[in-house]
Amino acid sequence: MVYSIPVLSLRTILLLKVTKLGFYFGDLLIFSATLFWAAENIISKYVLRRLSPRIVALGRMFFGSIIILIYLAFTKQFNQIFAISFSNLLWILFTSLLLYLYVTSWYTSLKFTKVSTASSILMLGSVVTALLSFLFSGNSFGNMLGNILTMTAMTEIIGIILLIAGALIVSGFRIRMPHSTFSTAKPK
């Protein structure tokens, strides 16, 4: 587990193209969100001892919706809910269903594994996102091959490889070597 920290940290620096180090207000918000997310996962792991992942996911979605409605009320944007078109409502329902399925699968995985392992495996989602972004970027195949050879793309590829390596380390993946068929014992 400890070996994955430098691998995943280097991956973050490469994929986010960090050029200067510093601590800004946005960094504080990201750090705070990370702490809240970690606390949520630890509390969820405890709650999942007694409740089904579907109930916990439904609770998260329900209370998350309430918080969004409160935010809209405080920012005086609540009336925009009534201006949503039918097609927009269908998209909201569709994406809400996808989110519910994701959250349910996440809580199901939390129920049966350690929080740190599940979180590290979840990071593989950024690999899928990067690959989909690359595939659907609208470039021709020749342009994509040319882009792969650029330094920026190479940095991203190295970052993705480091991400996969870190997730595999955390998940306990081991390469099993077959036993040797040669004996070291001296013949009699």
83-142 pLDDT, tens digit per residue, is: 889 999 999 999 999 999 989 998 998 999 888 777 777 766 766 776 677 677 665 545
The mean per-residue pLDDT over the stretch 68-93 comes to 91
The mean per-residue pLDDT over the stretch 173-179 comes to 56
User: Over 90: is that where the pLDDT of 25 sits?
Assistant: no
User: Over 70: is that where the pLDDT of 2 sits?
Assistant: no
**Least confident piece of the model among 9-23, 34-48, 96-110:** 9-23
d(CA 34, CA 93): 27
Q: Which tokens sit at 164?
A: 């996969």
What's the confidence (pLDDT) of residue 34?
83
**Least confident piece of the model among 69-78, 129-138, 146-155:** 146-155
Q: What percent of the chain has pLDDT over 70?
A: 57
Interacting residues of 80 by C-beta distance below 8 A, sequence separation 6+: 72
C-alpha distances (whole Å) from 68 to each of 86, 154, 157, 168 are: 20, 39, 37, 36
Q: Which tokens sit at 127?
A: 């690999």
